[in-house]
Structure 1
Amino acid sequence: MRFFVLFTLGLASAFPSLSTAHTLFTTLFVNDVNQGDGTCVRMPKVSSTCTSPITDLDSPDMACGRDGQHAVGFTCLAAAGDKLTFEFRAWADASQPGVIDSSHLGSAAIYLKPVSNMTTSSAAGPNWFKIYAEGYDENMRKWATEKLIDNHGLLSINLPVGLPTGYYLVRTEILALQNVSQDGYVDPQFYVNCAQLFIEGSSTSDTLTIPTGMEASIPGHVTANHPGLTFNIYQDDPLTTPYEVVGPAAFFSTSASTIATTGKSYAKNYHQQDRQPAQAEGLIPPACLVKNANWCASLPPRYTDEATCWASSADCFRQAEKCYASAPPTGCRGCRVWERDMCGAIQQGCRSGLWQGPPADLAANVEKVEVDVPVPGGGKIPGAGNADVSWGREGGGGERGGVDLGSKKAVMAVVFGSPTATAISGCCGKSRKRRRRLA
């Protein structure tokens, strides 16, 4: 469904910043189209700590972040080979500008995992594979996090071409290395969360075979003694000691058929039982009037007298309460629009004796509204970091594999095939009580 977008700037806080300039993936774009703040994105429910890093390498939160084991209501549609853009913010609701503190130097990576069911399949565990990574760019002499800041928090990649059709989690991983003790011990910080995708694949097979060594189980894809976690950004020079991105080598399926004869078949028959010719779950309802993240409003019941007018008003405010209660750290702008433009108008009509409705023009005014902050950087979305790909450099994991962008190239060296609920008190405040009819 296409949504008209109302761009509203968040109000900056009047209080001094309490942010530690961490970061969070908040917004997904598919082929440069904004899917909506928080839509399809799994993120922490508590906004006051939503940008805090994961430091326990063995925690299930390493997969999709805090609360990342829980599915959200919507799953975004993409096709194999499509461009995905991930927006990162230091303030999830964009109430203040920023991406991540400039001192937080480190790498960026994107992973995929096929799942049979968004609700019941575990985010933590096996079946992950990396499709993009960047560490230190020797040509530009910048870390991936510095380039992320330069791009106003936007990171773009292309999906692999030869993916089977099905449901996937796409995982973002920002690794910051600025925490170093006086004795040189590095305390790495991982910023991870996931989005839900239904990918229309180009493969006719239900099997996606990942070559041995390119598969990943998360947690477990990195150990504390990995060179990418012990790299001291204050002492080690990435020009003389190339930085090694953590995790397995990156992998791209390169054709519309199974592309490896050895390795672990993670996705074999992964959606056979529930296979659908098209997306069947996580769809935005056609009758959605206002969307806020993973919540949608529907038209309140028609009314023809005073009693049914107030009943319709109550239904509208109940929907608003659910919106506020479900709002993620990205905010509740859509909830406010719904409460003001629909619920408030119906309530005023009930008080004024206008007991026929809801008015058609009222529904038209709020129809298919989505309220998001403007795209940062003046609306310019960067090109895919892996758009110009080539065979991996020497030692890059084999003929069919890609290599992580460690410290050699400006783009990921991989191979394409065809070139073709609780209330969020820190964000929206507690859910507002339904306004009652005044005596």
Structure 2
Amino acid sequence: MKAALIPLVASTLVTSVAAHATFQELWVDGEDAASTCARLPANNNPVTSVQTNDIRCNAGASPAGSVCSVPAGGTVTVEMHQQPGDRSCANEALGGNHFGPVMAYLSKVDDAASADGSSSWFKIFELGYDSATDTWGNDLLNKNCGKQDVTIPSDIAPGDYLLRAETIALHTASQAGGAQFYMTCYQITVTGGGSANPAGVKFPGAYSPTDPGIKVDIWGNDFNEYTIPGPPVYGS
């Protein structure tokens, strides 16, 4: 696992604040909705405890001003950057060797503008570690100017949802509480679709501090496989 970068870990810890980031923008079938329906957190710092309500939609996140309409079966693109409003592709979306997976969840809610994230969440996307290419999900975020496409299931019931985009930085995850969670919730209304209401998990509760995908030494010589935390992707 990126053995050549191991000597850089100590210096990475010193500069890690500069490498923090947030999911900030949303695209719907190629149309840029910017941050209009994103519940932006108070800052770009990570959540480090999976046992608090901050793990739902991040710390200090307040409801967004809009709700984005998304067709069932359509594609949304979540977009991450280090600083608010900086969409420059010259800067890594999440720098500082913050390797880890990328995931997306949905939660069916009565009102996306006021829901608190306490309802159940089902996973609709995950991208972990490819040992054949030594590539992480958030490596691809960096290569794609912070963007990740996610397909909305075509059979889910129409209505309001929270869309939760997340990446976990694992560069210091060998110690308890060392994993860094970066997430943003987007307010969306799904149109069309079917009648499926997938079973889900609750946050907090879905993750444990000792899950093998959360407390893990990615720098170890024997590291060659990664287990993504949380439930399986719906429909997989």
State the distance in 2 between where 1:99 and 1:209 align: 31
1:218 aligns with 2:203: yes
State the distance in 2 between where 1:128 and 1:25 align: 18
Give the structure 2 partner of residue 232 of structure 1.
Answer: 217
Percent of matched pairs sharing the same residue: 27
**Match for 2:197: what amino acid?**
L
Shift of 1:130: 0.4
- The verdict on how the C-alpha distance between 1:185 and 1:208 changes in structure 2, with shifts beyond 3 A counting, is closer
State the distance in 1 between where 2:206 and 2:214 align: 12
Q: For the Cα contact (< 8 Å) 2:16–2:96, is it kept in 1?
A: no
Write out per-residue CA displacement over residues 105-143 of structure 1, whole angstroms, 9 at most, x where no aligned residue. 1111000001102344321x2310001111101332201
**Match for 1:173: what amino acid?**
E
- The verdict on how the C-alpha distance between 1:154 and 1:209 changes in structure 2, with shifts beyond 3 A counting, is closer
Identify which of 150, 169, 188 aligns with 1:197: 188
**Match for 2:73: what amino acid?**
G
Shift of 1:22: 1.0
- The verdict on how the C-alpha distance between 1:103 and 1:78 changes in structure 2, with shifts beyond 3 A counting, is same
- The verdict on how the C-alpha distance between 1:185 and 1:153 changes in structure 2, with shifts beyond 3 A counting, is same
Structure number with the higher strand fraction is 2
- The verdict on how the C-alpha distance between 1:133 and 1:238 changes in structure 2, with shifts beyond 3 A counting, is farther
1:288-367 matches, within 5 Å, as: none
Give the structure 2 partner of residue 39 of structure 1.
Answer: 36
Q: For the Cα contact (< 8 Å) 1:102–1:146, is it kept in 2?
A: no
CA RMSD of aligned residues (A): 2.1
1:11-22 matches, within 5 Å, as: 19-22=17-20
1:208 aligns with 2:194: no
1:75 aligns with 2:67: yes
1:80-99 matches, within 5 Å, as: 80-94=72-86, 97-99=91-93
State the distance in 2 between where 1:39 and 1:120 align: 15
Give the structure 1 partner of residue 55 of structure 2.
Answer: 62
- The verdict on how the C-alpha distance between 1:76 and 1:119 changes in structure 2, with shifts beyond 3 A counting, is closer
State the distance in 2 between where 1:153 and 1:237 align: 30
Give the structure 2 partner of residue 27 of structure 1.
Answer: 25
- The verdict on how the C-alpha distance between 1:190 and 1:236 changes in structure 2, with shifts beyond 3 A counting, is farther
State the distance in 2 between where 1:59 and 1:172 align: 17
Q: For the Cα contact (< 8 Å) 2:173–2:214, is it kept in 1?
A: no
Report how many aligned residue pairs link the two structures.
220
- The verdict on how the C-alpha distance between 1:195 and 1:117 changes in structure 2, with shifts beyond 3 A counting, is same
Write out per-residue CA displacement over residues 385-420 of structure 1, whole angstroms, 9 at most, x where no aligned residue. xxxxxxxxxxxxxxxxx2xxxxxxxxxxxxxxxxxx
State the distance in 2 between where 1:121 and 1:19 align: 30
- The verdict on how the C-alpha distance between 1:75 and 1:20 changes in structure 2, with shifts beyond 3 A counting, is same
Shift of 1:161: 0.8
- The verdict on how the C-alpha distance between 1:52 and 1:172 changes in structure 2, with shifts beyond 3 A counting, is same
Structure number with the higher helix fraction is 1
Q: For the Cα contact (< 8 Å) 1:83–1:156, is it kept in 2?
A: yes
Structure 2: stretches of 5+ with no match in the other structure: 1-14
Structure 1: stretches of 5+ with no match in the other structure: 1-16, 253-401, 403-439
Higher relative contact order (CA 8 A, sep 6+): 2
Taking structure 2 as the reference length, what is the TM-score of the superposition?
Answer: 0.86
Q: For the Cα contact (< 8 Å) 1:43–1:66, is it kept in 2?
A: no
1:126 aligns with 2:119: yes
State the distance in 1 between where 2:72 and 2:17 align: 37
User: In terms of Rg, which structure is larger?
Assistant: 1
Identify which of 238, 243, 250 aligns with 2:226: 243
Give the structure 2 partner of residue 276 of structure 1.
Answer: none
Q: For the Cα contact (< 8 Å) 2:167–2:181, is it kept in 1?
A: yes
Shift of 1:188: 0.4
- The verdict on how the C-alpha distance between 1:243 and 1:19 changes in structure 2, with shifts beyond 3 A counting, is closer
Give the structure 1 partner of residue 168 of structure 2.
Answer: 175
Q: List structure 1 segments (4+ residues) > 6 angstroms apart after TM superposition.
A: none
1:156 aligns with 2:154: no
**Match for 2:81: what amino acid?**
R
